[in-house]
Chains A and B, each alone.
Chain A
Amino acid sequence: MKRQRLAAAAFAAMLALAACGRDSGGEDTDTTAPVSEGKATGDITVWAMGTEGEKLAAFAQDFMTENPDAKVNVTAVPWDAAHQKIASAIAAKQTPDVSMVGTTWMGEFAATGALDPTPASVVDKAAFFSGAWDTTVVNGTSYGVPWYVETRLLYYRKDLAAKAGVTAPASWDEMTSFATAMRDKGGAKWGLNLQPGGTGSWQSFLPFAWSNGATLASGKDFTLDSPQMTEALAYYQSFFTNKLSPPTDLSLQGALEQSFINGTLAAFISGPWHVGLLNQQGGAGFKDKFAVAPMPRKQSATSFVGGSDLAVFKDAKNRDGAWKFVSWLSRPDVQVKWYKAVGDLPAVQRGWEDQSLSGDPILATFGEQLKDAKSPPAIPTWEQVAAVIDGEIEKVAKSGADPATATKAMQDRASGIGTGS
């Protein structure tokens, strides 16, 4: 800790003394050095967040059994501190060999030049879900490997749907009538929960935009004010104006699960973690009362893909060992074992052939949806642009702002922020 602070202070002092001038330009051209053959050796330091950080050390025992000369040291990092810790490590050139990196941070960290480009010999790009692989690609170069994935589906109450006489919606039109029937005939107060703005609501909205054929950026320009985007936002808004979706964020109050379990909320869109939460909170028998369905279709039925990537740093002390560890974690059999240990869904498509995943109807639906799922562009400024989108969604959902004005504002403010490249 002390060393880090000293390093930060030294960095600040350096900055204070530097007569700043941008003459050096991009210091290194990203060429991929090959990774040595054979077993991994030496110490490999790994940073991981949340549950992954807690469980990875024990899991890595198998790797050490296969590579007796290698030793994996895992540091668990709290999610809240992770971004800052990685940024400080990059500034001080005191990075670990490998770190778990949130998918939306890839653009920012890759742009610092601190990440090692993925060597082609280490993993096969085609083995991964393409939406997940895209999160590692910055300006045409891949800087890491997807570790695990999640995507969003429609959760709905089967018993209320039966009462309302509807089945899972397959299209946008059906989604509206589905939510209306759930409310008017099914007895729910809210037909469908959509996030009415606030942090992270872009994840809830973008699937609708993508399904309608909208894109976020093309090259260095944003394309947020397209007619497709506006139409998707208007559709999103209709759930609030028709009082099908609650105007406040149920999840912020921690009320989403309870509302769904007690039947005031008939449906919501979320990721795989909710299966466990609902079974746990709903008590015995609740698992027969709900089901999941793919996103409703417009031009496509695209969902959002999230999860985490693994990246190796240029300042790694044991680069080859690091890539060998990443490569091992990407093996289909290891991915399945990791799923069984932690519950993280495999980013490698072949992992889904395992009976433990394909045999479960809910998980199989997630697996199917992953084939049609996208991620936002891996640009350094994404978090900032996302906050702009969140703010405009909030205006549309809460104060009835005009969707066309909102997408125009998204485009103007995002252009002001830039793509950072």
Chain B
Amino acid sequence: MRRALAGWAFATPFTVLFLVFMAVPVVASLVMSVTDLRSTDLRTPFAVEFVGLSNYTRMVDDAQFRRAALNTAVFVVVGVPLTMVVGLAAASALNSGLVKLRALFRVGFYLPVVTSIVALAVIWRFLLDPEAGLVNSALRLVGVEGPNWLGDSRLALPSIIAMAVWRNFGFLMVIFLAGLQAIPADLYESSRLDGAGRWAQFRYITVPMLRPTLLFGGVVTSIGYLQLFEEPLVMTRGGPLDSTLSVSYHIYNQFGFGNYGYAAAVSYVLFAVIVGLAALQFRLLGSRD
């Protein structure tokens, strides 16, 4: 009895904090998403009306939301595999012993991950500047007039994807490297005795042994890419012509406009997509034994 009381006493602070700062806001925002709450109702919240699912159906007609959803989908579908492949390639190279100065590369590739994304985005904005940017200056050296990377609605999203891949692959590289080093060396040894080449080793030993690591990497990267926000905010403000508007950015805008009910509804849709995608990945890549 006394031990149970002590347990409760220790658990209470956390429980209270969790309820007040996590559970209540989550439930409240879910309720918010079925009301017409706007910033102009702030002083008279009891006058807010219940509007059922109309915030959810409104998304269908919202051209900007559709554009944001499409952009985010492109970002995930292109960005996630690209980041995974680059991360795995970098990890394999660092693990193979072909690369000298391993520690230097490891730190170098990992540095963008731990640097503030806002600082990186500002620097990339300068790099990609059509007139004075380093990228186009370098292209000019070889006689090519580079495009306006962030100002062209066809190139802005690919430019942001390139930046995101560059920033994020280091994280996966470190995770994959740990996974690679956990694979017992005798597996490779015995396969070599059986006459397996490098590709066969990669295909039949590395990938299956890495499956849980790849799953983790895939889920974490997908969630990160679905929440794309800071890069367009700093680099393009969602433009030009909404070509880099993401779902998160759309939510941010709608909260800014004071459409709290609608913004909450979009947040829940994004939440559902993230949960759904993670579940799908677990099913496809999860353990098969």
- Which A residues fall within an 8 A CB radius of B? 5-6, 9, 11-16, 18, 20-25, 27, 83, 87, 90-91, 93, 108, 111-114, 197-199, 247-249, 252-253, 255, 380-381, 383-384, 387, 391, 394-395, 398-399, 420
Contact = CB atoms under 8 A, between A and B. Distances in A.
Contact of A199 (B153, B237, B242): B237
Chain B interface size, under 10 / 10 to 19 / 20 to 34 / 35 or more: 35 or more
Given A12-B25, A197-B240, A111 B40 contact: yes
Nearest to B35: A20
Contact of A387 (B42, B151, B253): B253
Nearest to A258: B132
A197 B239 contact: yes
Contacts of B148: 247-248
B109 to A, nearest CB: 29
* Residue in B24, B132, B151 whose Cβ sees the most chain A Cβ within 10 Å: B151
Interface string B7-40: 0000000000000110011011101100101111
Interface stretch (B43-51, B182-190, B199-207, B272-280): B43-51
B125 A253 contact: yes
Interface of B: 20-21, 24-25, 27-29, 31-32, 35, 37-50, 125, 129-132, 148, 151, 153, 237, 239-242, 253, 256-259
A11 B43 contact: no
Given A12-B25, A12-B29, A380 B153 contact: no
B44 A247 contact: no
A15 B45 contact: yes
6 contacts: A12-B25, A90-B42, A93-B43, A198-B240, A384-B257, A420-B38
Nearest to B48: A20
Contact of A113 (B25, B43, B258): B43
Contacts of B24: 9, 12-13, 16
B42 A114 contact: yes
B48 A398 contact: no
A15 B42 contact: no
Contacts of B129: 253, 255
A25 B242 CA distance: 38
Contacts of B44: 24, 27, 112-113
Contacts of B130: 248
Contacts of B46: 18, 20-21, 24
A165 to B, nearest CB: 28
State the 10 A-B residue pairs at the shortest beta-carbon distance, nearest first: A12-B28, A111-B40, A248-B151, A91-B42, A384-B257, A16-B31, A112-B43, A90-B42, A16-B28, A22-B47
Nearest to B19: A9
Contacts, number: 116
B151 A247 contact: yes
Contacts of A83: 256
A6 B25 CA distance: 11
Contacts of B49: 20-22
A5 B131 contact: no
Contacts of B151: 247-249
Nearest to B40: A111
B132 A14 contact: no
A112 to B, nearest CB: 5
B25 A395 contact: no
Contact of A18 (B40, B45, B239, B240): B45
Nearest to A90: B42
B209 to A, nearest CB: 46
A15 B28 contact: yes
Contacts of A113: 43-44
A108 B40 contact: yes
A387 B245 CA distance: 13
Contacts of A198: 237, 239-240
Contacts of B237: 198-199, 252
A15 B37 contact: yes
Given A253-B129, A394-B239, 10 more contacts: A6-B20, A18-B48, A87-B42, A93-B43, A248-B151, A255-B129, A384-B257, A387-B257, A391-B241, A398-B240
A22 B36 CA distance: 11
Contact of A395 (B41, B47, B50, B241): B241
A391 B242 contact: yes
Contacts of A255: 129, 131-132
Nearest to B242: A391
Nearest to A88: B42
B229 to A, nearest CB: 15
Contacts of B41: 112
A22 B257 contact: no
Nearest to B22: A9
Contact of A399 (B28, B32, B153): B153
B241 A398 contact: yes
B141 to A, nearest CB: 21
